[in-house]
Amino acid sequence: MNSRITSAEAALLMPAISQSPSARRVEVLLAEARRARDEELMRRVAGFFRGFGRILAAIRHRHETVRQLRALSDRELADIGLNRSNIGAAAAQAVPMPANDGASGRRAA
């Protein structure tokens, strides 16, 4: 053995050869907890990106609606009950932004 390392230090550096059943159970529980934590984190990250994608799609759709309404003549807008000043409001009503309704599915820690 290296004279710079005491036998107590060597015992700390060496992995335990045999573990007690309770120590093994603790290790299994910790591994299960880590796996559950990682799965929940991935579920939340995926949910964030799904929600972000829905918001981007709604924004694109709203912009397309405004573009199409602005392309109409004043006469065509009057036929559908709009004027140029309320195109934005009409597009907002036609294409609502997704609500943050994920809160109803949350559980207490």
Is residue 107 in some structural domain?
Answer: no
Residue 57 included in any domain: yes
Band the pLDDT of 19: cuts 50, 70, 90: low
Domain count, the chain: 1
Task: State the residue range of the domain holding 60.
Answer: 19-98
pLDDT digit string, tens, across residues 49-95: 999 999 999 899 999 999 999 999 999 999 988 999 999 888 888 77
pLDDT tens string 25-59? 998 999 999 999 999 999 999 999 999 999 999 89
- Examine residue 33 and state whether it is found in any structural domain, yes or no: yes
DSSP 26-90: HHHHHHHHHHHHHHHHHHHHHHHHHHHHHHHHHHHHHHHHHHHHHHS-HHHHHHTT--GGGHHHH
User: Does residue 96 carry a pLDDT above 80?
Assistant: no
> For the whole prediction, is pTM greater than 0.75?
no
